[in-house]
A and B are shown apart, each in its own frame.
Chain A
Amino acid sequence: MKYKLLLVLAIISMSINTAFAHGDGPDFFRSIGKIYVVVGVMVITFIGITCFLIYIDRKIKKIENEISSHN
């Protein structure tokens, strides 16, 4: 499960890299003094932390299910 999430994270960040680089013409990332590179970096960081939240959320849900089925 852990590795699957890491893999998903890697794929998402890679696709962000390519999408931003070729999405709106080749120079989108270079406009306004390359500020969108900074935005991209923040988006990647945010996605990474979100993936972690999803991961821990699922694990806690599993525990909740076990407790409720136990009672």
Chain B
Amino acid sequence: MKGIWWKGLGVLLMLYVIIVGFLMPLRPGITTAFPQNIKSGETSVITASTYNARLETLSASDLRAWLVRDTTYILQAQSVKISGDQSVDVTFDVPENLPVDEEVLDFSLVLDAPEMGSIVLPYSIFIAKKGSDLSSGMTAWTSDSLGKLNKHKGLAIPFRNLLFETLRNTYFHVSLWFSMFILFLISVIYSIKFLRKREPYFDNVASSLVEVGTLFGILGLATGALWAKNTWGTYWTTDVKLNMAAVSMMIYAAYLVLRSSIKDGDKKAIISSSYNIFAFFIIVPLIFVIPRLTDSLHPGNGGNPGFGGEDMDNTMRMVFYPAIIAFTLIGLWMSNLMIRYKKLRNRIDEI
């Protein structure tokens, strides 16, 4: 049993991540609302398409809907009708006047029902100005209230427009990067150990960890490209975080080139350990400092919400943290195979 439990733990955690990661449903959400532009002083019907809302289990009387701006200006819908499997017709009797002196104001559409909870499509409905009486606009837009909003029942991960189910990629793509960094960190520790003790085993460990870490990095790039294609529309953007990741891959590819260019075993180990340590101290600012200085599309830098924000909530953390551990353990297992191979190789070469 000794020496095998952590491999088993890695596999079990991976299974947990795959099963729970896929089975945990997405919270309901509104994908689109049509028409987007409506006029003041008219009765308009807005068709909202929902996702995962399970409308067939609801009755029309449970559903409530509002147009909301800044939680102060609220207009309750006159009637809400379920018009299809995934669509709702909401009728609004829009007042003559707007509460703010603007030509066009944007409002968020809010739907609410018990079990389903309240779902929002932010800044989606644009109302054009007709009358210019601000005070009557104020009274018309503040007379309704949201009342008591329902909470979604059951475990579910957040609904994000555009991302939809691909939010689950967080468990794989992001964990790959995290575990890559952990592998590199352990490899640096072993490189330092090697330079202190000059034990060839430590160099075997360090180089194997770098090889597996580089593989994880390449997988991270490939999965990221696929995800980006289906969210941003291109495989590659000129985004800082992407480029920094690519550069750190280049640095480790250079490490592998360096190792293969030196034939003498002892010299190879010393030189490549030194390079590994030096490169790590350059990669830390590359990945952690520079992306924070510039704006980017990628979550976690600039003006974008990171994992502390809306992108990650407690239900996702229940899968995300185990996923990091699972990928790290599997990476350690893979490097363990490599280390044992290299040990055998060294022993055979000695004979």
A contacting B, Cβ–Cβ less than 8 Å: yes
- Is there an interface contact between B256 and A2, defined as CB atoms closer than 8 Å? yes
Interface residues of A, dominant DSSP: helix
Determine the chain A residues whose CB is within 8 A of the CB of B337 once the complex forms: 56
With an 8 A cutoff between CB atoms, is A24 at the interface?
A: no
Q: Which of B295-351 contact A (CB under 8 A)?
A: 330, 334, 337-338, 341, 344-345, 348, 351
- Is there an interface contact between A37 and B348, defined as CB atoms closer than 8 Å? no
Supplied contacts A2-B256, A59-B341, 15 more A-B pairs, CB within 8 Å: A10-B222, A16-B226, A17-B235, A29-B230, A30-B230, A33-B51, A33-B164, A38-B169, A42-B172, A45-B172, A45-B176, A51-B215, A56-B341, A59-B345, A70-B351
Q: Which of A37-65 contact B (CB under 8 A)?
A: 37-38, 40-42, 44-45, 48-49, 51-52, 56, 59-60, 63
- Is there an interface contact between B219 and A44, defined as CB atoms closer than 8 Å? yes
Determine the chain B residues whose CB is within 8 A of the CB of A48 once the complex forms: 215-216, 218-219, 222
With an 8 A cutoff between CB atoms, is B212 at the interface?
A: yes
Contact-residue size bin, chain A (C-beta under 8 Å from the other chain): 35 or more
Task: Give B residues with C-beta under 8 Å from A.
Answer: 18, 22, 26, 51-52, 163-166, 168-169, 172-173, 176, 211-212, 215-216, 218-219, 222-223, 225-227, 229-230, 235, 256, 260, 330, 334, 337-338, 341, 344-345, 348, 351
- Is there an interface contact between B215 and A60, defined as CB atoms closer than 8 Å? no
- Is there an interface contact between A21 and B229, defined as CB atoms closer than 8 Å? yes
Q: CB < 8 Å: which of B166, B341, B348 contacts A34?
A: B166
Interface residues of B, dominant DSSP: helix
Given A17-B229, A60-B341, A63-B341, is A33 in contact with B165 using a C-beta cutoff of 8 Å?
yes
- Is there an interface contact between B226 and A44, defined as CB atoms closer than 8 Å? yes
21 inter-chain pairs at a CB distance below 8 angstroms, sorted by A residue, are A6-B218, A9-B215, A9-B218, A10-B222, A14-B222, A17-B225, A30-B230, A34-B230, A37-B165, A37-B166, A37-B227, A38-B166, A41-B223, A41-B227, A44-B222, A48-B216, A48-B219, A56-B341, A59-B345, A60-B341, A63-B344
Select from chain B the residue with minimum beta-carbon distance to A6.
Answer: B218
- Is there an interface contact between B212 and A45, defined as CB atoms closer than 8 Å? no
What's the Cα separation between A34 and B165 when bound, in Å? 6
What's the Cα separation between A20 and B223 when bound, in Å? 13
